[in-house]
């Protein structure tokens, strides 16, 4: 590779992102200065939160500037080290963004042990999505044996882990996913007790039937129709960790129809619900426990994972657009360059 390709934010989207919101640019491969390293991106993670970074509104993180490189987690290999923190050939996980190469002094990078698991898993089950599921469920969901958990986007990077951890903790796990293929995978491969297709005309009735004892934990990834169906099924003192709202990320106006907020607030009061939003870094103190537990569960086969891989940095924009519409099946990973581990 003789050039450094970068995917830039060309325009801020209005509603769902379109191809024109992105620009594929080329520049010379940068040269590391003293104490710096040249990193070659091997894998790029695509995640729903990226839609929010494309907006200019106030949020928990700064937006991507117009003309800036799209933000994202990466697995990289050190191509050159000019007295840098890591050695040539080291494999690192960090946030180098949507580009072939990056310069770093080693800040906010961590070395990856390629003998522990495939290096791409540091962007998924053993990385941010896995930690999101682990910390949000255990710290806020507080699962107890015999309780019922419902999680939407159950075949996705976070939801799949939430349900499997809930099963390990002795809960009944009910997933919600889009389409019979995903639902079959959630039950037959991941071991959920049930999975309901949110596209079904009688979705609400099917969800109620799958939760005969009500819902103790609803791990919120989606909002919209799923949340509306969950509200009447909440048990007293139910917990709702709010991780994502993918159904709302590209909304340009309030939805039409009946205002559901009064029903939610009535449930909060009547059932004494605990609803709390969180960002994964809120629970940084759980990182060591996560690495120990999730690493063991993956090795033992108690937690399984699925990757949705797409080759080529140039395909990242279309893949993100598809992800936001639920077209992915598993954790989305872009294969940017050759994996040095084979």
Say if residue 184 is in the same domain as residue 40.
no
In a domain? residue 310: yes
Classified as helix, coil or strand, 303 is coil
Supply the range of the domain harboring residue 49: 3-123+305-335
CA distances from 162 to 129, 154, 171, 217 (A): 10, 8, 11, 11
Say if residue 235 is in the same domain as residue 286.
yes
Say if residue 286 is in the same domain as residue 222.
yes
Say if residue 93 is in the same domain as residue 220.
no
- All residue ranges of the chain with pLDDT < 70 are 247-255
The reported pLDDT for the residue numbered 254 is 64
Rounded CA gap, 43 and 313, in Å?
9
Q: Give, to the nearest 10 degrees, the angle between helix 128-135 and helix 159-168.
A: 50
Rounded CA gap, 340 and 342, in Å?
5
Number of domains in the chain: 2
Give backbone dihedrals phi and psi of 286, rounded to 5 degrees, phi first: -95, 5
Lookup result for tokens 């040539």: 88
Predicted TM-score (pTM) of this structure: 0.93
Lookup result for tokens 């799949």: 160
Say if residue 83 is in the same domain as residue 134.
no
Report the chain's C-alpha Rg in angstroms: 21
pLDDT in tens, 226-241: 999 999 999 999 999 9
In a domain? residue 161: yes
Rounded CA gap, 242 and 98, in Å?
27
In a domain? residue 191: yes
- The CATH code of the domain that includes 13 is 3.90.180.10
The reported pLDDT for the residue numbered 227 is 93
Partner residues linked to 40 by β-bridges: 77, 101
In a domain? residue 341: no
The reported pLDDT for the residue numbered 126 is 98
Say if residue 14 is in the same domain as residue 141.
no
Say if residue 186 is in the same domain as residue 327.
no
In a domain? residue 259: yes
> What is the residue-wise DSSP string for 58-106?
--SSPPPPTTSBPP--EEEEEEEEES-SS-TT-EEEE---SBSEEEE-S
Say if residue 281 is in the same domain as residue 320.
no
Give backbone dihedrals phi and psi of 216, rounded to 5 degrees, phi first: -95, -30
Rounded CA gap, 127 and 121, in Å?
7
Instruction: Compute the CA torsion angle 86, 88, 93, 97 (nearest 10 deg).
Output: 110
Classified as helix, coil or strand, 26 is strand
Lookup result for tokens 């004494």: 272
Say if residue 246 is in the same domain as residue 144.
yes
In a domain? residue 342: no
The reported pLDDT for the residue numbered 252 is 62
Q: Two tokens at 257?
A: 């129809």
Rounded CA gap, 98 and 105, in Å?
18
Sign of CA dihedral 57, 108, 134, 289: negative
Dmax (CA) for the chain in angstroms is 63
Rounded CA gap, 332 and 30, in Å?
27
In a domain? residue 340: no
Partner residues linked to 23 by β-bridges: 8
In a domain? residue 330: yes
Say if residue 84 is in the same domain as residue 61.
yes
Say if residue 56 is in the same domain as residue 202.
no
pLDDT in tens, 170-208: 999 999 999 999 999 999 999 999 999 999 999 999 999
Say if residue 141 is in the same domain as residue 118.
no
């Amino acid at each position: 590779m003789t050039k450094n390709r970068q995917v830039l934010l060309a325009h801020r989207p209005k509603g769902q992102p379109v191809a024109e919101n992105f620009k594929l640019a080329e520049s010379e491969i940068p040269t590391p200065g003293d104490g710096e390293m040249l990193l070659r991106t091997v894998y790029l993670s695509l995640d729903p939160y990226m839609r929010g970074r494309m907006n200019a509104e106030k949020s928990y993180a700064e937006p991507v500037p117009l003309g800036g490189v799209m933000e994202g987690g990466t697995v990289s290999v050190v191509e050159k080290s000019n007295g840098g923190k890591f050695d040539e050939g080291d494999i690192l996980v960090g946030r180098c963004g949507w580009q072939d190469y990056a310069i770093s002094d080693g800040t906010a990078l961590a070395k990856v042990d390629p003998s522990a698991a495939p290096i791409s898993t540091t962007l998924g089950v053993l990385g941010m999505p896995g930690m999101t599921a682990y910390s949000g469920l255990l710290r806020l969901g507080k699962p107890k044996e015999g309780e019922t958990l419902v999680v939407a986007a159950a075949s996705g990077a976070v939801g799949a882990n939430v349900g499997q951890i809930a099963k390990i903790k002795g809960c009944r796990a009910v997933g919600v996913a889009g389409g019979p293929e995903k639902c079959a995978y959630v039950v037959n491969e991941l071991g959920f007790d049930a999975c309901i297709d949110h596209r079904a005309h009688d979705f609400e009735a099917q969800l109620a039937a799958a939760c005969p004892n009500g819902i103790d934990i609803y791990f919120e990834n989606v909002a919209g129709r799923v949340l509306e169906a969950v509200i009447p099924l909440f048990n007293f003192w139910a917990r709702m960790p709010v991780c994502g709202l993918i159904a709302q990320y590209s909304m340009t106006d309030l939805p039409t129809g009946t205002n559901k907020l009064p029903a939610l607030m009535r449930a909060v009061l009547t059932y004494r619900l605990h609803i709390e939003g969180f960002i994964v870094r809120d629970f940084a103190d759980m990182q060591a426990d996560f690495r120990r537990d999730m690493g063991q569960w993956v090795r033992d086969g108690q937690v399984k994972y699925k990757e949705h891989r797409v080759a080529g940095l140039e395909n990242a924009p279309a893949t993100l657009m598809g992800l936001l519409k639920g077209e992915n099946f598993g954790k989305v990973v872009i294969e940017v360059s050759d994996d040095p581990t084979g």
